[in-house]
Amino acid sequence: MTQNSASKLLNGDTLHRTKQDKKAGGNGFVKNHCLFQQQQKRYRRPAEKSHHASRTLLYKKTFVESFEETPLLVAVLTYMGYGILTIFGYLRDFLRDWKLEKCHLAREREEQKDFVPLYQDFENFYTRNLYMRIRDNWNRPIRSVPGAKMDLVERVTPDYNWTFEHTGKVLKDVINMGSYNYLGFAENTGTCADTASECTEKYGVGVCSTRQELGNIDKHEELEKLAARFLGVESSMVFGMGFATNSMNIPALMEKGCLILSDELNHASLVLGARLSGATIRVFKHNNMQSLEKLLRDAMVHGQPRTHRPWKKILILVEGIYSMEGSIVRLPEIIALKKKYKAYLYLDEAHSIGALGPRGRGVVDYFGLDPCDVDIMMGTFTKSFGAAGGYIGGKKELVDYLRLHSHSAVYATSMSPPITQQIITSMKCIMGEDGTTLGQERLCQLSENTTYFRRRLHEMGFIIYGNNDSPVVPLMLYMPAKIGAFGREMLKRNIGTVVVGFPATPIIESRARFCVSAAHTREMLDTALNAISEVGDLLQLKYSRKNRRGSEGTDCFSYLESHLD
Amino acid sequence: MASGQQWVLVEMVQAFYEAPAYHLILEGILILWIIRLLFSKTYKLQERSDLTEKEKEELIEEWQPEPLVPLVSKDHPSLNYDVVTGFVSAVSGHISEEMNLPPSHKIIVNGKECVNFASFNFLGLLESERVKLKALSSLKKYGVGTCGPRGFYGTFDVHLELEERLAKFMRTEEAIIYSYGFATIASAIPAYSKRGDIIFVDEAACFSIQKGLQASRSFIKYFKHNDMEDLERLLKEQEIEDQKNPRKAKVIRRFIVIEGLYINTADLCPLPELVKLKYKYKVRIFLEESMSFGVLGEHGRGVTEHFGVNIDDIDLISANMENALASIGGFCCGRSFVIDHQRLSGQGYCFSASLPPMLAAAAIEALNIMEEDPGLFRVLRDKCKHVHKALQGTPGLKVVGEPLAPALHLQLENSSGSRTDDLKLLRAIVDYSLDRQIALTLARYLDKEERFLPPPSIRVVVTVEQTQEEIERAAQCIRQAAEKILK
What is the SS3 assignment for A208-268?
A: CCECCCCCCEHHHHHHHHHHHHHHCCCEEEEECCHHHHHHHHHHHHCCCCCEEEEECCCCH
CB contact under 8 A, A388 and B356: yes
Distance from CA of A57 to the nearest CA of B (A): 25
Distance from CA of B351 to the nearest CA of A (A): 7
Nearest to A301 among B51, B150, B249 (CB): B51
- pLDDT score of A122: 66
Distance from CA of A77 to the nearest CA of B (A): 27
Q: Which residues of B touch A143 (CB under 8 A)?
A: 156-157
Nearest to B356 among A201, A314, A419 (CB): A419
Find the closest chain A residue to B312 by CA distance: A109
In sequence order, which residues have a C-beta less than 8 Å from that of residue B86 and are 6 or more positions away?
A202, A203, A204, B100, B101, B102, B103, B104, B107, B108
Q: Which residues of B touch A207 (CB under 8 A)?
A: 119, 126, 322, 328
CB contact under 8 A, A115 and B215: no
- pLDDT score of A364: 94
Find the closest chain A residue to B283 by CA distance: A115
CB contact under 8 A, A215 and B84: yes
Nearest to B103 among A203, A314, A419 (CB): A203
Q: Best interface-test mutation with B: which of A213, A253, A372 has the largest number of B CBs within 10 A?
A: A213
- pLDDT score of A441: 94
CB contact under 8 A, A210 and B215: no
State how far the Cα of B396 lies from the Cα of B401, in Å rounded to an integer: 16
Nearest to B143 among A211, A247, A386 (CB): A386
Give me the total of CB pairs closer than 8 Å, taking one residue from chain A and one from chain B: 367
DSSP E strands in B36-128: the ranges are: 84-85, 106-109, 112-116
CB contact under 8 A, A196 and B102: no
State how far the Cα of A226 lies from the Cα of A431, in Å rounded to an integer: 10
> Please, how many CA atoms are within 13 Å of residue A316, restricted to the half-sphere of its CB?
36
CB contact under 8 A, A180 and B147: yes
Nearest to B59 among A119, A218, A300 (CB): A300
Give pLDDT tens digits along chain B (487 positions).
556 667 788 888 888 888 888 988 999 999 999 998 888 776 666 655 677 888 888 888 889 999 999 888 887 877 888 888 877 654 444 444 456 678 888 999 998 899 999 999 999 999 899 999 999 999 999 999 999 999 999 999 999 999 999 999 999 999 999 999 999 999 999 999 999 999 999 999 999 999 999 999 999 999 999 999 999 999 999 999 999 999 888 889 999 999 999 999 999 999 999 999 999 999 999 999 999 999 999 999 999 999 999 999 999 999 999 999 999 999 999 999 999 999 988 999 999 999 999 999 999 999 999 999 999 999 999 999 999 999 998 999 999 999 999 999 999 998 888 999 999 999 999 999 999 999 999 999 999 889 999 999 999 999 999 999 999 999 999 999 999 998 7
- pLDDT score of B99: 60
Q: Best interface-test mutation with B: which of A7, A20, A413 has the largest number of B CBs within 10 A?
A: A413
Order of strands across the sheet that contains A376-380:
A235-239, A390-394, A376-380, A344-348, A314-319, A259-263, A280-284
Q: Which residues of B touch A205 (CB under 8 A)?
A: 131-132, 135, 326-328, 358-359, 362
B356 in Cβ contact with A387 (< 8 Å):
yes
Nearest to A106 among B78, B279, B340 (CB): B340
Nearest to A400 among B79, B143, B173 (CB): B79
- pLDDT per residue as tens digits for the range B397-445: 999 999 999 999 999 998 888 999 999 999 999 999 999 999 999 999 9
Give pLDDT tens digits along chain A (565 positions).
333 333 333 333 333 333 333 333 333 334 443 333 333 344 443 433 444 444 456 777 778 888 888 889 999 999 999 999 999 999 998 898 888 887 777 788 888 888 988 887 666 888 888 888 999 999 999 999 999 999 999 999 998 888 899 999 999 999 999 999 999 999 999 999 999 999 999 999 999 999 999 999 999 999 999 999 999 999 999 999 999 999 999 999 999 999 999 999 999 999 999 999 999 999 999 999 999 999 999 998 889 998 889 999 999 999 999 999 999 999 999 999 999 999 999 999 999 999 999 999 999 999 999 999 999 999 999 999 999 999 999 999 999 999 999 999 999 999 999 999 999 999 999 999 989 999 999 999 999 999 999 999 999 999 999 999 999 999 999 999 999 999 999 999 999 999 998 878 888 899 999 999 999 999 999 999 999 999 999 999 999 887 655 444 444 444 443 443 3
Q: Best interface-test mutation with B: which of A208, A267, A353, A499 has the largest number of B CBs within 10 A?
A: A208
State how far the Cα of A188 lies from the Cα of B144, in Å rounded to an integer: 7
Find the closest chain A residue to B459 by CA distance: A213
CB contact under 8 A, B182 and A411: yes
Q: Which residues of A touch B126 (CB under 8 A)?
A: 204, 206-208
Nearest to B127 among A140, A153, A204 (CB): A204
- pLDDT score of B200: 96
CB contact under 8 A, A208 and B181: no
Q: Which residues of A touch B115 (CB under 8 A)?
A: none
Nearest to B446 among A221, A243, A407 (CB): A407
- pLDDT score of A123: 67
State how far the Cα of A361 lies from the Cα of A431, in Å rounded to an integer: 9
pTM of the entire structure?
0.87
Q: Which residues of B touch A204 (CB under 8 A)?
A: 86, 102-104, 126-127, 131-132, 326
DSSP E strands in A387-471: the ranges are: 390-394, 466-467
CB contact under 8 A, A388 and B445: no
Q: Which residues of B touch A216 (CB under 8 A)?
A: 81-84
CB contact under 8 A, A200 and B132: yes
CA atoms B7, B8, B10, B11: torsion sign = positive
Q: Which residue from B143, B155, B177 is spatially nearest to B339, judged by alpha carbons?
A: B177
In sequence order, which residues have a C-beta less than 8 Å from that of residue B125 and are 6 or more positions away?
A206, B131, B324, B325, B326, B366, B369
CB contact under 8 A, A202 and B88: yes
Scanning A314-386, the segments in alpha helix (DSSP H) are 331-341, 363-366
Q: Which residues of A touch B251 (CB under 8 A)?
A: 116
ipTM: 0.87
Q: Which residues of B touch A127 (CB under 8 A)?
A: 344
Q: Best interface-test mutation with A: which of B52, B68, B71, B108 has the largest number of A CBs within 10 A?
A: B68
In sequence order, which residues have a C-beta less than 8 Å from that of residue B47 and are 6 or more positions away?
none
Find the closest chain B residue to A408 by CA distance: B182
CA atoms B247, B190, A319, A477: torsion sign = negative
Nearest to A386 among B109, B144, B152 (CB): B144
Q: Which residues of A touch B444 (CB under 8 A)?
A: 210, 212-213, 410-411
Distance from CA of A421 to the nearest CA of B (A): 10
Q: Which residues of A touch B355 (CB under 8 A)?
A: 388
Q: Which residues of B touch A208 (CB under 8 A)?
A: 104, 119-121, 126, 322-323, 326
Find the closest chain B residue to A239 by CA distance: B180
State how far the Cα of B176 lies from the Cα of B339, in Å rounded to an integer: 7
DSSP E strands in A361-447: the ranges are: 376-380, 390-394
A365 in Cβ contact with A359 (< 8 Å):
yes
Distance from CA of B18 to the nearest CA of A (A): 56
CB contact under 8 A, A244 and B250: no
